Amino acid sequence: MDFRLNENQSLYVDTVRKLVKNEITPHILEMEKAHAFPWGIIGKAWEMGVLNLCIPESIKGFEIDVISSAIIIEELSFGDTGISTSAMCNDLANVVISQHGTKEQQEKFLRPFAERPLLASFCLTEPGAGSDNSLMTSFICKRDDGSYVLNGSKCFITNSSYASQYTVLCKVGKPTSNFMACVVIPVDPVTASDIPDIKSNTREIKVPTGGRIVVGKPEDKLGQRLSNTASVTFEDVVILPEQIIGDRRFGFKYIVDVLDYARPMVAAIGLGLARRALAVTLDYTRERKQFGQRICDLPVARETITTMWKKVELARLALFRAACKIEEKAKDAGIYASLAKNTAAEAAIFCATEGLHLHGGYGFTTEYEISKLARDAHIIDIYEGVREVQNMIIGREIV
């Protein structure tokens, strides 16, 4: 057991810190207010090799281990969790192809991401199927020529207005089927020059194999305004057998594998945010004086800051425990992924809320980054499975 970073990990930290320090932190409040999609930063992250962490080396990807991936996501999230959510979603969509796709599928569906800064979407949630995804009704139906046709609607899909590929979980045969499949739908590639900013427009995509995808207006969100989130409707989209990943009945198993990988990444997002909230609060309370003392020296305020620090460090421990479990393919990795997610979400919400409080009235204005962090923090406790679902997973396993 060793908590020291290896040479590669130190290099990742330095690389991402440089990106955050030079490109994100100085402009973050203006960028967030402008609500424009951060293509420039996505492009730089791609050039620096910190996007598409799960693509195998055989496809010219970086095949970065889970611990290093978590470190990269944490550092990017210290800059902005909307940007890191967008970046992380490429892996959320593509990890199932890395894990369960054939060599041909990996070549076809992953190589474009190694060649250009493109975005992918992972389409699981539906209006009637949130925490309980077994209620989904999107489905593929086989046709006489051996191909399938996909119909259904997904909601809250990250990157969807800009995506070049959609990984979709759907039922097989009929909406009420017990079997779930995972299908991949590449569309004409989209870069910054194709759709610089979708604004509040919808997007209609003619799918090369047949049918169409309609992406709704981007959601106007409380926080993480630099990530794009919209609904996606699949209308008679033709799916060829080679677009189905693995066994077309094992979608439930693939979701578990994807989420076991992704929950620690969300924990890393929460940890980065909690660390940022602590950092800006330390800066502020070291400067501001009341009652003849710096705020950070007032005993009750000092205690709050100490609790913030403890939550950050505990979130880091839970994250690395989960990442090690996943790396070693431990059978109980899932409950550690859930523990890491809940611990980091709690740290993020606590640090942002208490940090805002320690800024007093100034924290309630948009001039101070802490107000943005407080808005951003809530989603960590919701996406990739709400807090109660993580507790349900842990409770079920330990009992």
Ligand X SMILES: Cc1cc2nc3c(=O)[nH]c(=O)nc-3n(C[C@H](O)[C@H](O)[C@H](O)COP(=O)(O)OP(=O)(O)OC[C@H]3O[C@@H](n4cnc5c(N)ncnc54)[C@H](O)[C@@H]3O)c2cc1C
Active site residues: 384
Site string for ligand X, 269-308 (x = CB under 6 A): ----------------------------------------
Give just the sign of the alpha carbon dihedral 31, 32, 34, 38.
Answer: positive
Helices (H), 176-298: 251-287
Report which DSSP code applies to 20: I
- Contact positions with ligand X (CB under 6 A) in 164-193: none
Number of residues that bind ligand X (CB under 6 A): 22
Contact of 226 with 170, CB cutoff 8 Å: no
Contact of 140 with 134, CB cutoff 8 Å: no
Q: Considering only residues 156, 234, 284, 368, which one is a binding residue for ligand X as defined by CB under 6 A?
A: 156
- Contact positions with ligand X (CB under 6 A) in 360-379: 379
Which region, judged by CB under 6 A, interacts with ligand X, from 9-17, 150-158, 170-178, 272-280? 150-158
Specify the pairing of strand 139-142 against strand 148-158. antiparallel
DSSP three-state, residue 289: strand
Q: Does 157 bind ligand X (CB under 6 A)?
A: yes
Q: Which of 350, 338, 343, 339 is nearest to 385 (CA)?
A: 338
Site string for ligand X, 224-243 (x = CB under 6 A): x----x--------------
Which region, judged by CB under 6 A, interacts with ligand X, from 118-126, 145-153, 290-298, 337-345? 118-126
Q: Does 163 bind ligand X (CB under 6 A)?
A: no
Q: Does 87 bind ligand X (CB under 6 A)?
A: no
The smaller minimum CB distance to ligand X, of residues 259 and 296, is found at 259
Q: How far is the CB of 133 from ligand X (least distance, A)?
A: 8
CA distance 72 to 18: 12
Tokens of 321: 């425990």
* 386 CB burial (10 A radius; 0-12, 13-18, 19+): middle
List residues binding ligand X (CB under 6 A).
89, 122-125, 130-131, 156-158, 221, 224, 229, 379, 382-386, 388-389, 392
